[in-house]
Structure 1
Amino acid sequence: ANSVDVEKLSIADYVKSGMIEYVDLETMYVDHVEKNFDMDAIRNTKMNFAYDAMYGAGQNVMRRLLPDITFMHCDNNPGFEGQAPEPIHKNLIPFASLITESGDIDCGLATDGDADRIGLYNGKGEFVDSHHIILLLINYLVTQKKMTGKVVNAFSVTPRVKKMCEHYGLEYQVVQIGFKHIAGIMITEDVLLGGEESGGIAIKGHIPERDGIWMGLTIWEYMVKSGKTLDQLIDEIYKIVGPFKFERSDMHLKEEVKVAIVENCKNNKYSEFGQYKVKRIETIDGWKYFFDNDEWMMIRASGTEPVLRNYAESATTEKAFAILKAVEKTLLG
């Protein structure tokens, strides 16, 4: 057997001989940002921004780019303070409270552990979901940056993106959930934006992969250049696609119950959920049931745990939760 005397190994010698090379990827990224954004405008604006790294990989880059903004959870904590670093509202309550209590923060950006997924807050400390972020990005890239290209979204993203693409004459494609299905198309075709419901988004001019910091800076540049609040920019997209709210709930079930519900979905057993009558069904990755009034809900089973993920969209938060409640009642009926 081969034996290696670790004590005799010298990294310094390997560096000297060229076998090991240090590459400063962080500085490369910072330089790339400086070339692609009007960072002076973002730094000199009267708007105030905040960033929550969730103890993740984005903290150093954001400190270098925007040292004067408000920071939260930007220190090393390998255990993430016991909180899963997923940028969804229930994991970001302290950040939302910081924004609400400050009274002068215009927008808050959060990224997950490896900084590729985005969470966003308006100046009132209200969570802005990825569906709205995708629509905001498309609106900015098309109207202000004069960019074009195909939009590719995962199955769980709001169909209102299709409405916006029709409005601007953009090609639109829906794929299975999982960013690999989007990235493959971005590599081979002219894609303006690729996005997922989970907050993973990529846009033209950068890499064909998710980047939460890049998306956040794009939104901040949009706000600064337009002089408008996030809510005002969202109102502009509502004029095109209509107002909506999106909610999600996870049903933790016994595996046999989950399997039975999935079988019912496969066999088209659900024609209504309480008062909500199914008009049509899409089955690209899970089951998406469409109702009247641009309302819909989606059922998708976790492949790794006994969980059903239910998604719903309606005109208001209350109506979206009412759909989820009716669906759960029917599924467990």
Structure 2
Amino acid sequence: MDNIPKLFGTSGIRGKYQDEITLELALDVARALAKYIGGEDKKVVIGYDTRTTGKLIAHIMTAGLEQSGCNVLLLGMVPTPTVGYATLKKEADAGIMITASHNPSQYNGIKLWNADGLAYKQEQEREIERIVYEKEFNLVGWDKIGKEYDISSFKEEYINDIIKISEIDPEKPLKVVVDCASGAGSYLSPEALRKSGMNVITLNSQPDGFFPGRNPEPNSDNLQELMKTVKTIGADVGLAHDGDADRMIAVDENGNLSDFDKLLTIIAKEFGGTVVTTVDASACLDTEMEKIGGTVLRTPVGDVHVAESINENNGTFGGEPSGTWLHPDFCMCPDGLLSGLRIVRCIQKNGKLSEQLNAIENYPTIREKITCENNKKDEVMKVVSSDFKNEFNDVTEILTIDGVRIKFKDGSWVLIRPSGTEPYIRITAEGKTQEHLNDIEKISKKFLNNLI
């Protein structure tokens, strides 16, 4: 299938509306999905985030499914984890979430879910691409058109279930500020916290596809208001989501944005056992898990790879440093709302978030991105694979599981990999000393800038 154009990236199909994401494409993907799962009388859950184009794309995908004989379960505007969980609980044959996650307003995308709530694997996505490319659809006659059902009330069941499994203590109310970016978590994330007995203050929790309060990516630049609010009002913690609320980032009681890797480590320690993370995650996770007799496994970047490894290795927990965490005791769909509840529970049990973070060994880290057009990525990475190692003289290990990861004698490492969702080449590096990290960063950026 090498000649078949690639539609899916690291996290579904994603791009600018009317450029990469067209209504014609959405219709064809819906028809292809129907063909893939067997068509007539199959059930498909569909939801969308707050983007202005979400409902429109949902309508046309619903039409494509119904004209292929599928019945469609309509969730409406919901977080991505609600789609994954509904697909599992409603015993549907597939799920569709229409979202571009943390990308700006003009972007949208399509992500597909299996019956068990696990995102589609790469080989499944390639088969969808083949069906789309070859137009191998099975459309039914007028008398076999699929039906649609409103299951928007399922949101309450989802909220009640994440509260229950989080084991959050309503008798220990915390003051929590939650920033939903005007995205899909705007209603349900505050509701889950309030129903858990927490004292909740909201920011950017009015659904709005233009994301007027902040960009939906939950990073330091976009969370300044949350950081200031937490400190000013004396909150115990601040929680932030991306556009579809499959991610969660926390701000400690002092108004400081939590180190993403350390936050992941705090929760991983609660589960113990075998924890799965990605090739770009910090070694601090390995250090802490080793202390409690746990194991860390690494995968390529992307929550679907983490999910696959959890299933294959009986993992207790998994996640990426981006704040995308998987809770296999609940559902194999990344869940930012459940992640938020579990951070609150962790504070209830173990004390202030800042103290828990400070107790974890600190390794200086950088995450940079260099602009690179999508059609140049393969050529650039070929040169990186062959020549990048020659820029250093203390290399001890080279991994090509996802991009090129070089490990040095002192344990420092650098990873260069192409973004699967945006026109960038990403540089992630961790140094045992700040001085070594600075050298790695300087050499890496110079190499890529000269190359691109």
Distance of 1:263 and 1:22 partners within structure 2: 48
CA contact (8 A) 2:414 2:427 kept: yes
Determine which of 172, 188, 193 is the counterpart of 1:44: 172
Distance of 2:443 and 2:148 partners within structure 1: 62
Distance of 1:69 and 1:304 partners within structure 2: 33
Q: Which residue identity does 2:193 align to in structure 1?
A: L
CA contact (8 A) 2:389 2:406 kept: no
Distance of 2:253 and 2:380 partners within structure 1: 41
Q: Deviations over 1:216-273 (max 9, x none)?
A: 21111111122x211211233x2xxx32233211111467975554223221443345
Q: TM-score, normalised by structure 1?
A: 0.79
1:210 aligns with 2:339: no
1:35 aligns with 2:152: no
1:60 aligns with 2:177: no
Distance of 1:19 and 1:329 partners within structure 2: 55
Unaligned runs of 5+ in 1: 1-17, 143-147
Q: Which residue identity does 1:53 align to in structure 2?
A: C
Q: Which residue identity does 1:27 align to in structure 2?
A: E
Q: What secondary structure sits across from 1:127 in the alignment?
A: coil
CA contact (8 A) 2:241 2:248 kept: yes
Offset, 1:201: 0.7
The residue correspondences of 1:259-298 to structure 2 (distance < 5 A) are: 261-272=380-391, 277-298=394-415
Q: Which residue identity does 1:85 align to in structure 2?
A: P
Q: What secondary structure sits across from 1:66 in the alignment?
A: helix
Q: What secondary structure sits across from 2:209 in the alignment?
A: coil
Partner of 1:314: 431
CA contact (8 A) 2:178 2:190 kept: no
Offset, 1:192: 0.8
Partner of 1:6: none
CA 1:83–1:321 in structure 2 vs 1: closer, same or farther (change >3 Å)? farther
CA contact (8 A) 2:324 2:334 kept: yes
Determine which of 342, 346, 354 is the counterpart of 1:231: 354
1:167 aligns with 2:291: yes
Distance of 1:120 and 1:318 partners within structure 2: 28
The residue correspondences of 1:146-185 to structure 2 (distance < 5 A) are: 148=273, 150-185=274-309
Identity %, equivalent residues: 25
Q: Which residue identity does 1:58 align to in structure 2?
A: G
Partner of 2:238: 108
Q: Which runs of 4+ in 1 moved over 6 A?
A: 254-257, 316-319
Distance of 1:19 and 1:331 partners within structure 2: 50
Distance of 1:21 and 1:256 partners within structure 2: 41
Q: CA RMSD in A?
A: 2.9
Q: What secondary structure sits across from 1:208 in the alignment?
A: coil
Q: What secondary structure sits across from 1:80 in the alignment?
A: coil
Determine which of 116, 120, 140 is the counterpart of 2:250: 120
CA contact (8 A) 2:236 2:352 kept: yes
Q: TM-score, normalised by structure 2?
A: 0.60
CA contact (8 A) 1:118 1:130 kept: no
Q: What secondary structure sits across from 1:297 in the alignment?
A: strand
Offset, 1:208: 1.2
Q: What secondary structure sits across from 1:298 in the alignment?
A: strand
Offset, 1:80: 1.2
Determine which of 357, 363, 368 is the counterpart of 1:244: 363
Offset, 1:214: 1.0
CA contact (8 A) 2:260 2:321 kept: yes
Determine which of 134, 137, 154 is the counterpart of 2:267: 137
CA contact (8 A) 1:50 1:71 kept: yes
CA contact (8 A) 2:279 2:402 kept: yes
CA contact (8 A) 2:364 2:433 kept: yes
Q: Which residue identity does 2:244 align to in structure 1?
A: D
CA contact (8 A) 1:264 1:270 kept: no
Offset, 1:54: 0.8
Offset, 1:117: 0.8
Distance of 1:48 and 1:320 partners within structure 2: 37
CA 1:62–1:104 in structure 2 vs 1: closer, same or farther (change >3 Å)? same
Q: Which residue identity does 2:416 align to in structure 1?
A: I
Distance of 1:19 and 1:314 partners within structure 2: 54
Determine which of 117, 130, 151 is the counterpart of 1:22: 151
Q: What secondary structure sits across from 2:370 in the alignment?
A: strand
Distance of 2:364 and 2:292 partners within structure 1: 22
CA contact (8 A) 2:193 2:341 kept: no
Q: What secondary structure sits across from 1:108 in the alignment?
A: strand
CA 1:185–1:256 in structure 2 vs 1: closer, same or farther (change >3 Å)? closer
25-34 or 184-193, larger mean C-alpha shift: 184-193
CA contact (8 A) 2:264 2:321 kept: no
CA 1:82–1:270 in structure 2 vs 1: closer, same or farther (change >3 Å)? farther
Partner of 2:12: none
Offset, 1:321: 5.5
CA 1:329–1:66 in structure 2 vs 1: closer, same or farther (change >3 Å)? same
Distance of 1:199 and 1:48 partners within structure 2: 21
Offset, 1:72: 0.4
Distance of 2:319 and 2:365 partners within structure 1: 16
Q: Which residue identity does 1:233 align to in structure 2?
A: Q
Q: Which residue identity does 2:157 align to in structure 1?
A: M
CA contact (8 A) 1:191 1:203 kept: no
CA 1:168–1:268 in structure 2 vs 1: closer, same or farther (change >3 Å)? farther
Unaligned runs of 5+ in 2: 1-146
